Structure 1
Amino acid sequence: MRERTRGTQAVACGECGAGDGARCSQTLGRPLGQGSDASVGLAAVIATQRVEHGIPHAVSCRALGVSQAWFYKWCHSDGSPRRARRKALAATIGYLFAKHKRTYGSPRITADLRDMGWRVSVNTVAALMREQGLVARRKRRRHGTTKPDKSARKAPDLLGRDFSPRDHPNLAWVGDLTEIPTDEGKLHLASVIDLHSRRVPGFAMGVHHDAALARAALCMAIAVRGGSVAGVIFHTDQGGEYTGELFASACRSARVTQSMGRTGSALDNAAAESFNSTLEWELLRNNHFHTREEARHAVAAWIDEYNVERRHSTNGMLSPVDYERACGQQRSEQPAGEQHAQKRAA
């Protein structure tokens, strides 16, 4: 009666021709360093099956006629490809963490790694970051600089704290002003953010915290978006820069509909507040500016990087520019009827 080898398939070894469950004569059962290159290659195949195809190690070991004990001993040897891969992955994580100035946590680092060709989970990245003591900076709640004009006309709140991504660009914008300290005095920044992608199409910087600065940011956003943004809702707080006639007139000329949250309520303009907090923690907190001109160049460069490179969780870990490009391509592939229906729904 033919003897069966339990849990083993008929697999022939390329080195010695062993098959039908027989053990390979090339010392597959010995620890790494005592066998041939074939043992290293076979163990590497087993190690990659679960990562690339989800096949458990036990299944691969049975199929290839080797013991799990030998495989796990190989995994913990210093020279194993698995250890080498883990070291390379840890080094790459450290590089990306430094590249992004200690602002990226494990989800964004994972997205970067996948773009580089790594097949890795967020949990693995988080574990390797903990091992290296890599902790992303946490944003603190910032204090607003809004100066309300109690006698000015207030626009109604048309967003109602709904800052979710819109289906198309130029449906809803948010804006705010913040200040940047320098040795020469404060530099003020006005920004315009599109809720579709979190892109900043318009911003302006100046010495004065006034309506002219807010209007300059609005005009830049309109120009960047092609000059025609009729119907867009522009949501701000009730600061005097936005409630005055100078800014209101600019909105009417461009057929922009104003919307305002309450003064002193960060939640009523949360998307703009979040942008300002990100600016503070990623750029301002660790940089000292001697002049306003120095700060102006640094902020402009940071906003450009924010638009083109910085990953956003609301965009599926794409940068604003990449997200807009992906959405535009998706819309171009849709039938014309579906596109019109989506625009009407929006």
Structure 2
Amino acid sequence: MKRERKIYDPAFKTKAVQLSNERDNISELARELGLKVSLLYKWRKEYEEFGESSFPGKGNLKLTPEQEKIHELEKKLKDAELERDILKKGNRHFFQERSMKYRFIKNHEYLFPIEKMCSALEVGSSGYYKWKSKPICKRTLLKNEIKQQIASIYFASKQRYGSPRIAIELNASGYKVSRITVAKYMRELGLRSKLSKKFKVTTDSKHNCLVVENILERNFIVAHPSKVWVSDITYIQTKEGFLYLTTIIDLYDRKIIGWSLSHGMNTEETTLAAWKMAVRNRSFQKGLIFHSDRGVQYANKKFANTIESYKVIRSMSRKGNCWDNAVAESFFKSLKAELIYGSKLITKQEMELEIFEYIEIWYNKKRRHGALNYKTIEEFNNQKNICKNVA
């Protein structure tokens, strides 16, 4: 059977290239996105040559010499900004404990001068050389190694993980350590996971469109894929105004199978765009339940007619009851706690890239989900496939 060729839209290509410019390991990023490395480099080359005019499809026009000169200047500016950001990355390793500062210096001797690092971390170079030459017992070495792993996992998760998930990651890597010990070491390192804020209602249900009953009835545990999809819309604040994120989640494995990030709230930009992505990414049979709130983007004729043409069964939350769509609300809570709250406002373009990375790489592929017994979505599906094959 011939394998169907996957088609990527221009927005996906652009975000993938922009993300690759912020990563050191292009091969790893390509693997995370499910791409061939050669394809990602091809996109990068086109983007370097044509910039925002890249990926228009057939009939695209080449840039004028003036545009190419502007693009070259923009590229040099971006290279300078990237160099600055690399120097800033060391800040996350500046721990409270002196021994951890020494360990950071030792691990980066090949990259930076020792005297410079000692000065930046406010430790004496003589103290560092004394620490380096002093023999360390096995227990202390193991403790330091675990602390280093904790810090690595913590910052790899962009400060989103607390002690429970970090303990699971450590045990999966072969370290036998309890959650209590991880919590203790995190306190010693001054590390805390990001905290969420209280729920705020944003749904506009004041309309005359047709609504349907809640047939899902908060039954969020599903045994098979593409039996129940849930959807919701939230706002994302930037320093240039709001963006609106629409998501569609398969309750089976909690994967974001469709999403749209828009500047407006019309149906084409929000629910229909997310639906089109969902049906491209995951097949389903007649009888799929689609659950949402009563917002006008879900209740209007344009959206209703579209999904009813797929023989989908509609379900809607009761008015003003966020718990009827708790899984969708929980995703937005995690997104804002782990990505947005506590961070400075950024531009819409920067936020679009942050959301792309969060959903496509972090949430769908790397994050451990409590609803999946703290497995990643890929681990959960692989386990299910093994069970099916054994049966």
Q: Same fold (TM over 0.5)?
A: yes
In structure 2, the partner of 1:219 is 276
In structure 2, the residue matched to 1:208 is 264
2:166 aligned with 1:109:
yes
CA displacement, residues 202-255 of structure 1 (integer Å, 9 cap, x when unaligned): 0012122132210111121111003x3432211111111111111111211122
Unmatched segments (≥5 aa) in structure 2: 1-134
Shift of 1:290: 4.5
Which amino acid is 2:296 matched to? G
More helix by share: 2
Which of 288, 293, 312 aligns to 1:237? It is 293
The yes-or-no answer on 1:316 pairing with 2:353 is no
Which of 243, 262, 272 pairs up with 2:328? 272
Output aligned runs, 1:1-346, within 5 Å: 79-164=136-221, 166-212=222-268, 213-226=270-283, 228-288=284-344, 290-304=346-360, 305-334=362-391
Which residue of 2 is the match for residue 70 of structure 1?
Answer: none
Give percent identity, aligned residues only.
32
Q: Which amino acid aligns with 2:365?
A: V
Are the equivalent residues in 2 in contact too, given 1:192–1:221 (CA < 8 A)? yes
- C-alpha RMSD over aligned residues: 1.8
- CA 88–118 in structure 1, closer or farther in 2 if over 3 Å, else same: same
- 1:128: Cα distance to partner? 1.9
Cα distance, 1:200 vs. partner?
0.2
CA contact (8 A) 2:196 2:341 kept: no
Cα pair distance change 1:288/1:254, threshold 3 Å:
farther
- TM-score, with normalisation over the residues of structure 1? 0.69
- Distance apart, 1:184 and its partner CA: 2.9
Contact 1:199–1:321 (8 Å) recurs in 2: no
- Equivalents in 2 of 1:206, 1:79: separation in Å? 55
| In 2: Cα distance, 1:332 partner to 1:187 partner | 43
Corresponding residue number in structure 2 for 1:75? none
Report how far residue 152 of structure 1 moved: 1.8
The Cα of 1:123 is off from its aligned counterpart by 2.4
Amino acid at match of 2:341: R
> In the TM superposition, what is the alpha-carbon distance from 1:82 to its structure 2 partner?
2.0
- The question of whether the paired residues in 2 share the 8 Å contact of 1:149 and 1:243 is answered with no
* Alpha-carbon distance, 1:287 to partner: 4.1
* Counterparts in 2 of 1:220 and 1:313: CA distance versus 1, 3 Å: same
Aligned equivalents of 2:352, 2:277: Cα separation in 1: 16
- Cα separation, 2, equivalents of 1:319 and 1:152: 38
Compared CA separation, residues 290 and 108, structure 1 to 2 (3 A): closer
CA contact (8 A) 1:97 1:104 kept: yes
Tell me how far apart the structure 2 counterparts of residues 289 and 329 of structure 1 sit (CA, whole Å): 44
Provide the rounded CA distance (Å) in 2 between the counterparts of 1:316 and 1:273: 19
Change (3 A) 1:138 1:289: closer
SS at match of 1:186: strand
Q: 1:328 to 1:210 in 2, by over 3 A?
A: farther
1:270 partner SS? helix
CA distance in 2, matches of 1:130, 1:263: 43
**Equivalent pair of 1:181/1:289 in contact (CA under 8 Å):** yes
Decide whether the 8 Å contact of 1:239 with 1:263 is kept in 2. no
Shift of residue 279 of structure 1?
1.1
TM-score, normalization by structure 2:
0.62
Query: Secondary structure, in 3 states, of the residue corresponding to 2:235?
Result: strand
Unaligned stretches of 5+ residues in structure 1: 1-77, 335-346
CA 1:267–1:306: 2 relative to 1, 3 Å: same
| 8 Å CA contact retained: 2:226, 2:252 | yes
Whether the 8 Å CA contact 2:213–2:318 is kept in 1: the answer is no
AA partner of residue 255 (structure 1): K
Deviation for aligned residue 1:146? 0.6
